[in-house]
Amino acid sequence: MAGRLLSVTLVLAAACLIISPDPGLAETHTGAYRVPVKITDSRIDLSSLMESFSLRSSLDLMGERLDLVGEEGSCRLQIGSPLLLSSGLFAVLTGPVQSIGGRIRVPVDFITKGLPALLGRSASLDEAGGSVILGREGSGSFSGVSPEDLPRYASFIQRDQYVPEERKPERPRGLRVVVLDPGHGGRTPGARGSTGTLEKELVLSVAEKLKTMLEEDLGVKVVLTRTADYFVGLKERTAIANNNRADLFLSIHANAAFRKEVQGYETYYLSFSATDLEASQLAQAENRALGVEGGRDEASLLEAILWDMAQMEFLKESGHLAVKLQDSLVKSMRGQDRGVRQAPLAVLMGARMPAALVEVGFISNPSQEIKLNRDSHQEQIARALFNAIADYNSSLIRGDVAREDL
């Protein structure tokens, strides 16, 4: 990764030299430009576009997310994804952005979809003549769709669309690696009960018990995002799951409410918007605990997950997982069923596998808090979660759960 990142960075750094198109050579009386480009396999080397149009760039530390800046605006690309973002709107390119030998190549329709956002000029491609034709200043702007509209385009942006035909689909297999995320930790204690029960301590205990069950009874590898009382950053949590090539990501939390009589169980999976007011409020509270204050910061996190459409690809599986978790908890614990909901939970953003967040009870409810402090009750919660994961695993092996276009 380091070698790839260095080579990509060097290429882009060299491309950042400000080399403006020669107006005397290509400008017409209408103020348009004709700039030569080299097209290979319906793609264009991005560095050549940057040189020709004086674009600047910034690549993230993982070598995956690329920001481009022009005279009139900016846009963002993601290696391996066909999505293009500008001004909070998305466009879908005809294929994914590629990085080959340290050089980034974009589909030819980046000319018409991306350049107008950067240059403020309309742009068209004369493929036969091997050139880009730019309109006069102010003639172009970005045209895209909002994040809420992306699901209808899912069939065009699924990663599987770009897998070479000769690659045979994998046979259904069960879980091999599960990542459990005990919520909060360290400087973020989470919810606190009336007798001093801390969410961060409770959920770690439940996660440890569940880990033992999964390893001993299901034979899977289990990784905890934290193993003691310390803070784990937002990006680190899903990075741990991604780096371990996890097949499932489960974040474990305990709930709280202003009304002490509220009790029961809830399970969440990711959505671009909350299914209801309570789901929205919970997402805001959980996100704030991880240092996400909402507004522009929260929006940028949502953009990040949309780049590779990770949770869109696994949305159906995440929904299946969430339903099994909720059903098992309610049946085993005999508590109020508060349902399966969707919300823009930051802790689930970026997970490249089925992911869910479960609320294992209300610490704010005095009677439920007493139960949650009992080791036997925690064991019962862990067993309910285990049963749901084991059932989900069986569904995978049978092939009952499969990714589909949304």
Q: Is residue 308 part of a domain?
A: yes
pLDDT band at 289 (very low <50, low <70, confident <90, very high): low
E strand spans, 108-247? 123-126, 131-134, 177-182, 221-224
Q: Is residue 354 part of a domain?
A: yes
Of 74, 37, 43, 44, nearest in space to 56 by CA:
74
117: domain CATH number is 3.30.457.10
Does residue 85 sit in the same domain as residue 181?
A: no
Does residue 83 sit in the same domain as residue 207?
A: no
Does residue 195 sit in the same domain as residue 95?
A: no
Q: Please check whether residue 253 is in contact with residue 203, taking contact to mean a CB–CB distance below 8 angstroms.
A: yes
Does residue 46 sit in the same domain as residue 194?
A: no
Of 102, 372, 396, nearest in space to 247 by CA:
396
pLDDT band at 17 (very low <50, low <70, confident <90, very high): very low
Query: Could you tell me which residue, 29 or 246, shows the higher pLDDT?
Result: 246
- Three-class SS of residue 141? coil
Query: Could you tell me which residue, 364 or 401, shows the higher pLDDT?
Result: 364
Does residue 184 sit in the same domain as residue 324?
A: yes
Does residue 229 sit in the same domain as residue 311?
A: yes
Residue-wise over 209-219: b if at least 16 C-beta within 10 A, else e?
bbbebbeeeee
Does residue 93 sit in the same domain as residue 195?
A: no
320: domain CATH number is 3.40.630.40
Joined tokens for residue 115: 């350049």
Sign, Cα dihedral of 52, 54, 55, 57: positive
pLDDT at 241 over 70: yes
Element (H, E) at 312: helix 310-313
Mention every residue, 6+ apart, whose C-beta is less than 8 A from residue 103. Answer: 8, 11, 45, 46, 47
Q: Which of 124, 144, 164 is the last residue of a domain?
A: 144
pLDDT band at 299 (very low <50, low <70, confident <90, very high): very low
30-61: pLDDT as tens digits: 556 788 888 888 899 988 888 888 899 887 65
Distance between CA atoms of 190 and 206, rounded to whole angstroms?
A: 15
Q: Is residue 152 part of a domain?
A: no
Q: Is residue 14 part of a domain?
A: yes
Does residue 237 sit in the same domain as residue 184?
A: yes
pLDDT at 321 over 50: yes
Does residue 181 sit in the same domain as residue 139?
A: no
- Three-class SS of residue 376? helix
193-215: pLDDT as tens digits: 989 999 999 999 999 999 999 99
pLDDT at 20: 40
Query: Could you tell me which residue, 394 or 92, shows the higher pLDDT?
Result: 394
pLDDT at 346: 74
Length of the chain: 406
Domain around 327: 177-398
Tell how strand 265-270 and strand 337-343 pair up. Answer: parallel
Q: What is the dihedral of CA 191, 271, 233, 242, to 10 degrees?
A: 130
Phi, psi of 161 (to 5 degrees): -65, -25
Phi, psi of 223 (to 5 degrees): -120, 130
pLDDT at 60: 65
Q: Please check whether residue 403 is in contact with residue 314, taking contact to mean a CB–CB distance below 8 angstroms.
A: yes
DSSP string, 258-296: SSTT---EEEEEE-SS-SSHHHHHHHHHHHHHTT--SHH
Q: Please check whether residue 69 is in contact with residue 122, taking contact to mean a CB–CB distance below 8 angstroms.
A: no
DSSP state of 162: G
Q: Is residue 169 part of a domain?
A: no
* Helical residues (DSSP H) of 55-180, grouped into ranges: 110-113, 115-119, 154-157
Distance between CA atoms of 198 and 252, rounded to whole angstroms?
A: 13
Q: What angle do CA 142, 153, 401 make, to 5 degrees?
A: 150
Phi, psi of 354 (to 5 degrees): -55, 135
Does residue 390 sit in the same domain as residue 245?
A: yes
Does residue 127 sit in the same domain as residue 185?
A: no
- Three-class SS of residue 247? coil
Q: The pTM is what?
A: 0.59
Q: Is residue 149 part of a domain?
A: no
Distance between CA atoms of 350 and 314, rounded to whole angstroms?
A: 11
End-to-end CA distance of the chain: 32
Q: What percent of the chain has pLDDT over 90?
A: 36
Joined tokens for residue 89: 């709107």
Joined tokens for residue 230: 């310390």
Does residue 373 sit in the same domain as residue 271?
A: yes
Domain count, the chain: 2
Mention every residue, 6+ apart, whose C-beta is less than 8 A from residue 163. Answer: none
Q: Please check whether residue 260 is in contact with residue 319, taking contact to mean a CB–CB distance below 8 angstroms.
A: no
pLDDT at 315 over 90: no
Lowest mean pLDDT among 70-84, 152-166, 317-331, 370-384: 152-166
Tell how strand 65-69 and strand 56-59 pair up. Answer: antiparallel
Q: Is residue 163 part of a domain?
A: no
Q: Is residue 153 part of a domain?
A: no
